[in-house]
Amino acid sequence: MSQFPSVTGREVIAALSKVDFEVARVRGSHHIMIHSDGRRTVVPVHSGETIGRGLLAQILRDCQILVKNLGNCCKY
């Protein structure tokens, strides 16, 4: 069983928004999220599709957020 939750791109954006990330711009289905201290990541938003484990791990690494802290940020 994976320790990563099954979340959509919109849920990831909502979770990152709660920890002070903002959508800087959107190019197609890719939302570029930037924190005021310079951290940035790209979150793909595709209707009804969940983000894979590997991509979610990369997004969390980019944002320097632990998996266990993701649960505090979003409902899944």
Mean per-residue pLDDT for 4-9?
A: 86
**CA end-to-end distance (rounded Å), the chain:** 16
Q: Give the up-direction half-sphere exposure of residue 2: CA atoms within 13 A in the CB hemisphere.
A: 10
What pLDDT does residue 4 have?
75
Give CATH superfamily name and number for 9-71.
Hypothetical protein. (3.30.920.30)
Phi-psi bin for 38: left (phi > 0), alpha (psi -120 to 50), beta?
Answer: left
Task: Read off the pLDDT of each residue in 12-17 and give the average, rounded to a whole number.
Answer: 92
pLDDT class of 8 with cuts at 50, 70, 90: very high
Ranges of each domain in the chain: 9-71
Tens of pLDDT, residue by residue over 32-72, are 999 999 999 999 999 989 999 999 999 999 999 887 776 66
pLDDT computed for residue 1 by the predictor: 40
Q: What angle, rounded to 10 degrees, do the helices at 9-18 and 53-63 form?
A: 20
